[in-house]
Amino acid sequence: MGIFDFLTGEFIDVIHWTDDTRDTMVWRFEREAHEIKYGAKLTVREGQAAVFIHEGQLADVFTPGLYLLETNNMPIMTTLQHWDHGFESPFKSEIYFVNTTRFQDLKWGTKNPIMCRDPEFGPVRLRAFGTYSIRVSDAARFLTEIVGTDGEFTMDEISYQIRNIIVSKFSAAIAGSGIPVLDMAANTLDLSKMLAAKIAPDLAEYGLSMPALMIENISLPPAVEEVLDKRTSMGIAGDLGKYTQFSAAEAITAAANNPAGGGMAAGMGAGMGLAMAQQMAGQQPGPWGASPAAPVAAPPPPPPPVEHVWHVADNGQTKGPYSRAAMGRMATEGSLDRKTLVWTAGQDGWIAAGDVAELATLFTILPPPLPST
């Protein structure tokens, strides 16, 4: 073996990266003067991608596998510049390892409340928080758009920007969803899917994807939650009268178990319970503690009868309307008799006045006709 072959074998590079930090997204392989030797071995493990930068230009992206960096198996490098087959290389090249695994259990949350219009409560302010996972889907785009020349890029450097994207999309999604506040807990899964779909295009511009996003909680302001709790308590209590009696019974029991003032407290509790029971029954105590019977309310008077008005047919013409009193005067004067056709609202057609029960009595008081001589 010649000295040249020996030196060439000694200086063959082995390029690889193992990470135990759990938060490093990109790491640059450091080599003095950034020289990558001809014939170097590049090892890319599962969950990684290697981005080859040659003289400032992105030359290639290597997926998991073992690569021998030679001209004949690097067509992209060949188009940039031919490599010498010797021991020294005049090229300035860099290799960036990109972590393509998921970064899990990342937190997000609304810094300020989100104003929404609820169909039941009106304008409300909501807060939300949850978790998400992120991964690099396009190593080349992520390197050019986000990392640049950073030799070690961690998740903390981009998590703040991702949280802002999530919150902004969540605000728009929750405001336009139309889901009532009380029903949001039952729809968090659908909201999470809708939110992830809205975020995906923005992350794709950075070479990122979001495999999972979870909304863990959507909450109202503390003051509103306190009022809502009271409303819920009223619904659980059901009959307020029975709830009051139950509370009075508990107060009596607690007072009787009080060793400091059992007798007096028990008497006060019994008095309170009796007063509450009498109040619930709608009674007032009598002079000797007896409860007189409550007075019976008089029934309301019946409604006044509806007075009809009448139309009269006279020589093919309609006259009126006339009240019953006016009809009585007409019967007395002789301008109205039993055979006169009359009509009133609700009556089925014209009827002779003598056949109408309400008008028939007008003719019974008339004197009978004189006997013929």
Say yes or no: 48 and 127 in one domain. no
8 Å CB contact between 286 and 273:
no
Q: Is residue 67 part of a domain?
A: yes
Say yes or no: 75 and 158 in one domain. no
8 Å CB contact between 139 and 100:
yes
Question: Which residues form the domain of 84?
Answer: 3-99
CATH number of 353's domain: 3.30.1490
Residue 371 CB neighbour total at 10 angstroms: 5
Say yes or no: 69 and 113 in one domain. no
Q: Is residue 234 part of a domain?
A: no
281 CB contacts (<8 Å, ≥6 apart)? 291
Helix axes of 156-177 and 188-204: crossing angle, nearest 10 degrees: 130
Which two three-digit tokens encode residue 98?
Answer: 């990109």
Top-confidence residue, 268 or 362 = 362
Q: Which of 132, 100, 109, 141 is nearest to 196 (CA)?
A: 132
Top-confidence residue, 338 or 178 = 338
Say yes or no: 107 and 215 in one domain. yes
- For residue 142, pLDDT beyond 80: yes
Tell me which range, 22-26, 320-324, 343-347, is most confidently predicted by mean pLDDT: 22-26
pLDDT given at position 206 = 92
- For residue 160, pLDDT beyond 80: yes
pLDDT given at position 82 = 46
8 Å CB contact between 77 and 28:
no
| CA-angle at 220, arms to 215 and 224, nearest 5° | 165
Say yes or no: 141 and 160 in one domain. yes
Q: Is residue 245 part of a domain?
A: no
The mean-pLDDT minimum among 204-213, 228-237, 246-255 falls in: 228-237
Say yes or no: 174 and 208 in one domain. yes
Say yes or no: 154 and 79 in one domain. no
The mean-pLDDT minimum among 33-47, 78-92, 131-145, 171-185 falls in: 78-92
Q: Is the preceding peptide bond at 287 cis, omega within 30 degrees of 0?
A: no
Q: Is residue 282 part of a domain?
A: no
Q: What are phi and psi of 144, to 5 degrees?
A: -75, -35
CATH number of 139's domain: 3.30.479.30
Tell me which range, 23-27, 53-57, 233-237, 286-290, is most confidently predicted by mean pLDDT: 23-27
Q: 196, 220, 244 — which closes off a domain?
A: 220
Top-confidence residue, 180 or 227 = 180
245 CB contacts (<8 Å, ≥6 apart)? 273, 276, 277, 280
- Provide the 3-class DSSP secondary structure of residue 165: helix
Tell me the average pLDDT across 246-271: 63
pLDDT digits (tens, 9 = 90+) for 161-186: 999 999 998 888 887 777 888 788 78
| Angstrom distance (rounded) from CA 319 to CA 325 | 15
Say yes or no: 89 and 177 in one domain. no
pLDDT given at position 125 = 86
Q: Is residue 281 part of a domain?
A: no
Average pLDDT, the chain: 77
- For residue 140, pLDDT beyond 90: yes
Tell me the average pLDDT across 71-97: 55
- For residue 10, pLDDT beyond 50: no
Count of structural domains within the chain: 3
Q: How far does the chain reach from its first CA to its final CA, in angstroms?
A: 173
pLDDT given at position 360 = 82
Q: 220, 255, 275 — which closes off a domain?
A: 220
The mean-pLDDT minimum among 231-235, 243-247, 260-264 falls in: 260-264
8 Å CB contact between 174 and 126:
yes
Say yes or no: 73 and 122 in one domain. no
Say yes or no: 110 and 68 in one domain. no
Tell me the average pLDDT across 302-319: 80
Tell me the average pLDDT across 294-317: 76
Q: Is residue 59 part of a domain?
A: yes
Say yes or no: 111 and 82 in one domain. no
Q: Is residue 235 part of a domain?
A: no
Q: Is residue 261 part of a domain?
A: no
Tell me the average pLDDT across 148-154: 88
- For residue 223, pLDDT beyond 80: no
pLDDT digits (tens, 9 = 90+) for 112-139: 888 888 887 788 888 899 999 999 999 9
Say yes or no: 86 and 116 in one domain. no
Beta strands in 55-121 (DSSP E): 57-62, 65-69, 93-99, 103-109, 114-118
Which two three-digit tokens encode residue 218?
Answer: 């959507």
Block residue for tokens 């336009």 = 176
pLDDT given at position 49 = 94
Q: 173, 192, 220 — which closes off a domain?
A: 220
